[in-house]
A = this chain, B = another copy of it.
Amino acid sequence: MSAARLIGLDWGTSSLRAYFLGAEGSILEQRDSPLGIMRVQNGDFAGAFAQTCGDWLRTHPQAPVLLAGMIGSKQGWTEAPYCACPADAAAIAAALAPLPLSGRSAHIVPGLSCANAAGVPDVMRGEETQIIGALSAAGSHLAVLPGTHSKWAWVEQGAVVRFASYMTGEIYAALSGHTILGRMMQADAPHDPAAFVRGVRYGLEAPQELMSRVFSARTLGLFGQLSEAALPSYLSGLLIGSEIAGAAGATPHADAITILGNAALTQRYVEAFAIAGMATAAGPADCAALGLWRIAKSAGLLA
């Protein structure tokens, strides 16, 4: 019998990343594709999958397949119902949704759901796999996954206990693209570190005033206090600062805060947290790969 292998995909809305994994989740090969679920024509997910990983499927007919992310949503290949928090790798593994793929073990990782103190539900899809990959250690952790919909997840002893979404990235895009704030902005300006810091500080100071404070991204331009090139970084900082101040107030104690995101965004959050007086660490790259491996192992797929 050959060594365990796994074909694992982090398949999101606008792109996907495919991994061919070996012992202990080591990445043997990796591919990026723009075929996010919203870009797959006519719902032909099987075709998109074959197009991306066909050679792996052919050369490794025994390798199990595990998909995480929006591919398990109602708009995806097969709906994988949410797994309720608290959820660790074992709970997620027990809730995998089988995917009919000729003569092969194939599954979709469920997203997670939880309810806040007011009973209002929240959901994630894909981030749970990154968290499982990044945070297997004992103790209490806060995992922050910045992005279109940032997630703040409280993780204890390897289980996601509770989490909250912040629409920071999508609100940034809506404000800069579809309100008066965008009119004075130089949309393609390079990152302006000083303007970013100024925005972070202003946002941290009074997150409850966010709908008022964002208007400063117009008035500071009107009064010549910030240039058109500085305004995008300023608004980004203002939203991130507001997110951190608002979310930190709702956060139980954690032994450590880990940021899981792409390099540029992680750097912005690490800096903003530092301004707020909170130490953070950037998580490992490709934690989705390790999460897929751990979930597959927990489900007994690698036996």
Partner of A202, one of B120, B175, B208, B211: B120
CA distance in complex: A171, B247 (Å):
20
Which residue of B has the minimal Cβ distance to A122?
Answer: B219
Cross-chain contact A220 with B174 (CB below 8 angstroms): no
Which residue of B has the minimal Cβ distance to A182?
Answer: B174
Cross-chain contact A166 with B215 (CB below 8 angstroms): yes
Cross-chain contact A210 with B180 (CB below 8 angstroms): no
Q: Residue-by-residue, is A208-233 near B (CB-CB < 8 Å gives 1, otherwise 0)?
A: 11111111100110110100000000
How many copies of this chain does one complex carry?
2
Cross-chain contact B210 with A211 (CB below 8 angstroms): yes
Is the C-beta of A250 less than 8 angstroms from some C-beta in chain B?
A: yes
Q: Chain A's interface: helix, strand, loop or mixed, by majority?
A: helix
Cross-chain contact A171 with B211 (CB below 8 angstroms): yes
Min C-beta distance of A21 to chain B, whole Å: 31
Interface residues on chain A, size class: 35 or more
Cross-chain contact B246 with A208 (CB below 8 angstroms): yes
Collect the chain B residues with CB atoms within 8 Å of residue A170's CB.
Answer: 179-180
Partner of A216, one of B120, B175, B239: B120
26 contacts between A and B (CB under 8 A): A118-B202, A120-B202, A120-B216, A121-B216, A121-B219, A121-B222, A149-B215, A164-B209, A166-B212, A167-B181, A168-B211, A170-B179, A171-B211, A173-B178, A173-B179, A174-B174, A174-B175, A177-B178, A178-B178, A207-B207, A207-B208, A208-B245, A208-B249, A209-B247, A210-B210, A211-B246
